[in-house]
Homo-oligomer: A and B are copies of this chain.
């Protein structure tokens, strides 16, 4: 496979969807899939699929389709899902707990080490085997153990300041659920700002559109 380079953000953002789709095919025991079938399932065009895959040296022979297993392994490798990255979670309120209990971090490439919270009544508790530690220990922990990712499920007020300190301690990526975007200057550490509202507004549009067409 060719070395990836200068792959656009738009292509990267489609890779997880490809991976998710191919995972389902693989679970079903499907052996081969055409770019056309992928395109139809994901609302894209076949040429877009081929173009995207070509950024990574392609994955199959033209006109013959892709081997599902090879595609699955290739996408996992590109995404780096098998590299045993580690994570911490900051803020063990309802959202933090929901993620600890239900979200498959390992399936997305990360092993969760600990959660941190300021609330003394939850420190020492564990959710799905992940123990909650006192937030006062967090920066020392990060400096020493160098987890790759911090999941921010705290309230937004102090999030930018905490994000900055985490990066100074060596955090390599931030997954931000606080609801407010975090933009930090002078860092190339990637930050994914989650926007639930975008999806809900899209839904609002679709509901209105259907109602208006009746």
Chain A residues near B (Cβ < 8 Å): 4, 9, 12-13, 15-17, 19-20, 43, 78-81, 83, 85, 93-95, 97-99, 101-105, 107-110, 148-149, 155, 172-173, 175, 179, 188-190, 192, 194-211
7 interchain pairs, CB-CB under 8 A? A4-B209, A16-B202, A79-B208, A102-B179, A103-B179, A108-B197, A175-B203
A contacts with B: majority SS = helix
The closest CB in chain B to the CB of A10 belongs to B43
Number of copies: 2
Q: Which of chain B's residues have a CB closer than 8 A to the CB of A103?
A: 179, 196-197
Alpha-carbon separation in the docked complex, A206 to B7 (Å): 11
Would you call B98 and A201 a contact (CB within 8 A)?
no
Contacts known (A206-B173, A209-B4); A200 close to B95, Cβ less than 8 A: no
Would you call A207 and B195 a contact (CB within 8 A)?
no
Would you call B203 and A192 a contact (CB within 8 A)?
yes
Contacts known (A190-B210, A207-B190); A200 close to B110, Cβ less than 8 A: yes
Q: Which of A16, A20, A194 has the most CB of B within 10 A?
A: A16
Contact partner of A9 (CB less than 8 A), chosen from B43, B173, B175, B204, is B43
